[in-house]
């Protein structure tokens, strides 16, 4: 399969262990692929070295987010190129993009021109789209019967990656911006080289026992991820840790990140210790092509039936059916989802991009803890919201569910199941409004509370909006639909960070000698937070509208899941008899 292909394995134990080893490598890639969210950790150094105004600095942050707009290239390439090539493209691009920024911040070279810095920041932002595409596409294909856990774990580690980079830099390099950029350039490159060796497409689970075993192992990965998040969170609240303590923290963190290796090692030795494991492996390998062919045929039949249903419909397909890109862009529901997503992720990105200056304005010389808080609580938002939203699609919401949803959602009272996912986006938007109000008040400790709330809500929006798009518009063209939706990241960064926050800050700031400006006090960002709170209220209204419009879709999803679950035992017996 390419230059990085390993020698073939004769036993099933080796093949299965290698598949899980590839998943561990994918976790490592995701644990370092959130470097695009770390701009606040070195933005002040760029501002002072290049004598930038806040508007100019914010537009640099927009440039890195614009890199994500070119993620369509990675999506198209993933269908043509092997995984290791996609990983190498992303790692080399990141090495160049962040390496150039390091040369400037370390003063190894004279500051580059503004437009050149925009290009290198754009390259750094685009590098992660290649890494994420390679990892997600390959792992979902390898574990296609457990797509939910795969997506949740990998996206969760993306949320943790900012905290991992920030805390390690604070522990080892005392938050030195130059050292931080070295990490952003070199570490992802090295990790992607490792992943390029082990991450490849492997046969998916073919029996119910293998599926059950996969589910059990995913719970292990979830537990490890939660422990890592709690460990990072605990370190953030330790005041002035000593050098020895910081080094010990970093060493233990590396051990925790390496601990998932225990799963493929366990699988390898467990299967080899079984009597006749080699024979079982050979039988499995001989039958896998037939199983895969049968599965493909079944999927083809389902797709044909879906297409036939859509073709019977006149004109525009109904929401919940397969849509082409043109049909998606013609629907009101897509644009409601698009704008509500913009209100959530755009405002969240503005806080992340401006955290360095927000902290300085409120009197904090070190903002690394706030960057970590957003990252870690964003992780919890992603992990929990995916599981909870899935539960309320499949189960009743009378009683306990009704109390959990609260007063704003009383129009769903007495509905037995099929709670629309956009309802959870609405809850996140209201919570984010409170976060921005707290930040605008600038009371003691408000930046801690605001960072936590913004992190949680940003994570929920990312985790909920992604599956919502597939449920409303189908999977046939989901890659392009997803990338169009993700255009909200650069668009939101430009509107809320580049324009709103930058212009309002400069209006309040005082010019400094040699160029640039600075602002100290709660007034620097108060108007920005108020405007973003209003945007979240608009997003809340749109999410409620989308929830009402999609009630029928989620009722059908619940009915379908329930019928498939009830027919599973009879299908299993039929396969055994065949």
pLDDT in tens, 25-66: 999 999 988 777 777 778 888 888 888 887 788 788 778 878
319-398+416-560: same fold as 12-271?
yes
For the chain, the structural domain boundaries read 12-271, 319-398+416-560
The answer to whether the CB of 295 falls within 8 A of the CB of 575 is no
454-462 mean pLDDT: 89
The answer to whether the CB of 397 falls within 8 A of the CB of 423 is no
Q: How confident is the model at residue 475 (pLDDT cuts 50, 70, 90)?
A: low
pLDDT for position 148: 62
Q: What is the pTM of this model?
A: 0.70
Q: Is the dihedral of CA 413, 542, 378, 133 positive or negative?
A: positive
**Tokens 């000593």 found at:** 242
The answer to whether the CB of 250 falls within 8 A of the CB of 171 is yes
Q: How confident is the model at residue 565 (pLDDT cuts 50, 70, 90)?
A: low
Assess whether pLDDT exceeds 90 at residue 337: yes
Assess whether pLDDT exceeds 60 at residue 190: yes
E strand or H helix at 511:
strand 510-511
CA distance 111 to 46: 9
CA distance 535 to 344: 8
pLDDT for position 577: 41
The answer to whether the CB of 532 falls within 8 A of the CB of 407 is no
CA distance 544 to 406: 13
Assess whether pLDDT exceeds 70 at residue 332: yes
How many CB atoms are closer than 10 A to CB 129? 25
pLDDT for position 178: 86
Third-level CATH fold of 319-398+416-560: Growth Hormone; Chain: A; (1.20.1250)
CA distance 322 to 306: 8
CA distance 112 to 60: 13
pLDDT for position 268: 82
CA distance 62 to 350: 10
CA distance 419 to 457: 19
Question: Structurally, what CATH architecture does the domain formed by 12-271 represent?
Answer: Up-down Bundle (1.20)
CA distance 128 to 91: 8
Continuous H helices in 395-486:
400-405, 422-441, 446-473, 478-486
């Amino acid at each position: 399969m390419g230059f990085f292909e390993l020698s073939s394995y004769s036993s099933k134990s080796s093949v299965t262990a290698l598949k899980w080893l590839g998943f561990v490598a994918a976790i490592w890639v995701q644990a370092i692929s959130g470097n695009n969210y770390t701009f606040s950790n070195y933005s002040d150094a760029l501002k002072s070295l290049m004598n930038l105004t806040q508007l100019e600095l914010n537009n640099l942050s927009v440039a890195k987010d614009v890199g994500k707009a070119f993620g369509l290239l990675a999506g198209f390439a993933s269908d043509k190129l092997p995984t290791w090539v996609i990983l190498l493209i992303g790692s080399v691009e990141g090495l160049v993009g962040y390496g150039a920024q390091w040369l400037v911040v370390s003063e190894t070279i004279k500051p580059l021109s503004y437009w050149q810095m925009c290009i290198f920041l754009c390259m750094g932002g685009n590098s992660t789209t290649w890494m994420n595409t390679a990892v997600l596409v390959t792992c979902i294909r390898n574990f296609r019967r457990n797509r939910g856990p795969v997506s949740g774990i990998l996206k969760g580690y993306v949320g943790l990656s900012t905290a991992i980079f920030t805390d390690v830099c604070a522990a080892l390099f005392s938050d030195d911006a130059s050292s931080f950029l070295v990490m952003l350039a070199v570490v992802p490159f090295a990790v992607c080289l490792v992943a390029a060796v082990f991450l490849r497409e492997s046969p998916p689970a073919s029996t119910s026992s293998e599926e059950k075993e996969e589910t059990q192992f995913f719970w292990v990965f979830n537990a490890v991820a939660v422990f890592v998040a709690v460990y990072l969170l605990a370190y953030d609240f330790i005041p002035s840790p000593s050098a020895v303590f910081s080094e010990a923290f970093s060493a233990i963190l590396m051990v925790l990140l390496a601990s998932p290796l225990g799963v493929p090692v366990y699988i390898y030795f467990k299967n080899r210790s079984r009597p006749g494991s080699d024979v079982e492996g050979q039988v499995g390998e001989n039958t896998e092509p037939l199983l895969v062919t049968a599965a493909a045929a079944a999927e083809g039949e389902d797709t044909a039936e879906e297409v036939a249903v859509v073709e019977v419909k006149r004109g525009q397909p109904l929401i919940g059916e397969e849509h082409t890109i043109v049909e998606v862009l013609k629907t009101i529901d897509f644009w409601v989802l698009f704008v509500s997503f913009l209100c959530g992720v755009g405002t969240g990105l503005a806080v992340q991009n401006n955290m360095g200056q927000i902290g300085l304005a409120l009197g904090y010389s070190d903002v690394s803890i706030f960057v970590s808080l957003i990252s870690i609580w964003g992780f919890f938002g992603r992990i929990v919201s995916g599981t909870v939203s899935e539960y309320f699609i499949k189960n009743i919401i009378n009683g306990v569910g009704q109390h959990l949803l609260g007063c704003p959602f009383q129009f769903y009272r007495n509905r037995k199941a099929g709670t629309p996912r956009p309802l959870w986006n609405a809850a996140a938007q209201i919570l984010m409004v409170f976060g921005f109000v707290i930040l605008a008040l600038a009371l003691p400790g408000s930046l801690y509370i605001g960072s936590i709330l913004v992190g949680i809500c940003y994570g929920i929006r990312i985790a909920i909006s992604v599956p919502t798009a597939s449920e409303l518009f189908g999977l046939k063209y989901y890659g392009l639909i997803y990338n169009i939706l993700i255009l909200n990241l650069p668009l939101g960064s430009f509107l809320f960070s580049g324009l709103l926050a930058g212009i309002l800050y400069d209006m309040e700031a005082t010019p400094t000698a040699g160029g640039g400006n600075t602002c100290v006090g709660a007034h620097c960002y108060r108007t920005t937070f108020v405007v973003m709170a209003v945007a979240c209220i608009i997003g809340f209204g749109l999410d409620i509208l989308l929830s009402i419009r999609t009630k029928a879709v989620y009722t059908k999803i619940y009915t379908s899941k329930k019928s498939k679950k009830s027919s599973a035992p009879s299908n299993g017996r039929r396969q055994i008899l065949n």
